[in-house]
């Protein structure tokens, strides 16, 4: 699994907002490897937990674990540690491997399918810092890369004051988070206030002319990119499309 970092072109995350493991597997089968990043949130995780995370990882994809941790600091420490620990074995097989020889020729290492998790910025600064520490400690224990941690500011189904989003973004940065989740409408202001390397994950992405649904602060992929988003999250416009792979490909063309 290649590492996911902020120093690259904007990337598409498809939200697996479905209610069964079978449906999630169906969409990952259709979309991978066109899409490599998938969001797992409250629609799937309460019932299917690490089964869905490992399913995505074994296909070769990476998981954006969007559970918006908000609790006492020690509980959030445990939550981010737990999210980091869902490792799978990754095997590197050299070319020309002699099948008659021992498996010592096969290199094995652990990798977590989870590349990014959310914490809610309504929590205290101590809670956010403990969340960072939980992920750091578990990553060091497992010998893997720490997942990115991003703070949820104001949901895109709500009307937001830019100043409130910026306040929460600054709290997240001071606590050591890697970025925030906010709409494309606030992305440029967040980048200006927190720096270009501070990640912006933009949900509420809709193709031009697509129905609004419950999103009050929606944007197109191009608008999100222009505003400086590092990741865009798209669910229904892809999952409900007649041809989900083509819908994803069309959005990826906008990103490129």
pLDDT at 79: 97
What are the pLDDT digits (tens) for 190-218? 999 999 999 999 998 988 767 655 555 67
At 236, is the pLDDT very low, low, confident or very high (cuts 50, 70, 90)?
very high
Told to judge if 68 belongs to the known catalytic residues of this protein, a careful annotator would answer yes
- Kind plus residue range of the DSSP H or E element containing 256: none
Could you tell me which residue, 112 or 123, shows the higher pLDDT? 123
| Percent of the chain whose predicted confidence (pLDDT) is above 90 | 74
pLDDT digits (tens, 9 = 90+) for 35-88: 999 999 999 999 999 999 999 999 999 999 999 999 999 999 999 999 999 877
Res 225 pLDDT > 50: yes
**Which pLDDT belongs to residue 159?**
66
Domains in the chain (CATH in brackets) are 11-94+102-255 (3.20.20.70)
Q: List the structure tokens of 33.
A: 């490897």
Angle between helices 45-59 and 21-31 (to 10 degrees): 30
Q: Give 238's contacts (C-beta < 8 A, 6+ positions apart).
A: 14, 31, 244, 247, 248, 251
Instruction: Identify the active-site residue in 36, 39, 68, 146.
Output: 68
pLDDT of res. 209:
67
**What is the distance between the alpha carbons of residues 216 and 207, in angstroms, rounded to a whole number?**
14
pLDDT digits (tens, 9 = 90+) for 93-105: 566 655 554 555 5
Distance CA 74, CA 151 (A): 17
Neighbour tally for 10: CB within 10 Å: 17
Closest CA relative to residue 38, chosen from 20, 57, 10: 57
pLDDT at 165: 95
Q: What is the pLDDT of residue 130?
A: 98
pLDDT digits (tens, 9 = 90+) for 133-189: 999 999 999 889 999 999 999 876 776 789 999 999 999 999 999 999 999 999 999
* 9-39 pLDDT, tens digit each: 899 999 999 999 999 999 999 999 999 999 9
């Amino acid at each position: 699994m290649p590492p996911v970092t902020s120093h690259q072109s904007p990337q598409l995350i498809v939200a697996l907002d479905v209610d069964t493991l079978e449906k999630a597997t169906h969409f990952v089968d259709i979309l991978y490897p066109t899409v490599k990043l998938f969001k797992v949130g409250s629609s799937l995780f309460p019932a299917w937990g690490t089964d869905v995370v490992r399913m995505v990882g074994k296909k070769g994809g990476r998981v954006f674990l969007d559970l918006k941790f908000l609790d006492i600091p020690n509980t959030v420490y445990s939550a981010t540690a737990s999210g980091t620990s869902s490792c799978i074995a990754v095997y590197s097989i050299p070319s020309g491997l002699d099948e008659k020889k021992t498996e010592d020729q096969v290199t094995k290492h652990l990798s977590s399918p989870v590349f990014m998790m959310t914490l809610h910025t309504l929590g205290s600064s101590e809670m956010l810092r403990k969340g960072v520490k939980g992920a750091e400690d578990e990553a060091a224990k497992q010998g893997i890369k720490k997942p990115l941690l991003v703070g949820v500011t104001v949901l895109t189904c709500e009307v937001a004051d830019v100043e409130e989003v910026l306040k929460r973004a600054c709290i997240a940065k001071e606590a050591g988070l890697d970025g925030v989740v906010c709409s494309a409408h606030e992305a440029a202001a967040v980048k200006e206030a927190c720096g270009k390397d501070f990640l912006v994950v933009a949900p509420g992405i809709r193709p031009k002319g697509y129905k609004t649904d419950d999103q009050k602060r929606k944007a197109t992929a191009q608008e999100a990119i222009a505003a400086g988003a590092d990741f865009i999250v798209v669910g229904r416009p892809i999952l409900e499309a007649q041809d989900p792979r083509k819908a994803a490909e069309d959005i990826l063309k906008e990103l490129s």
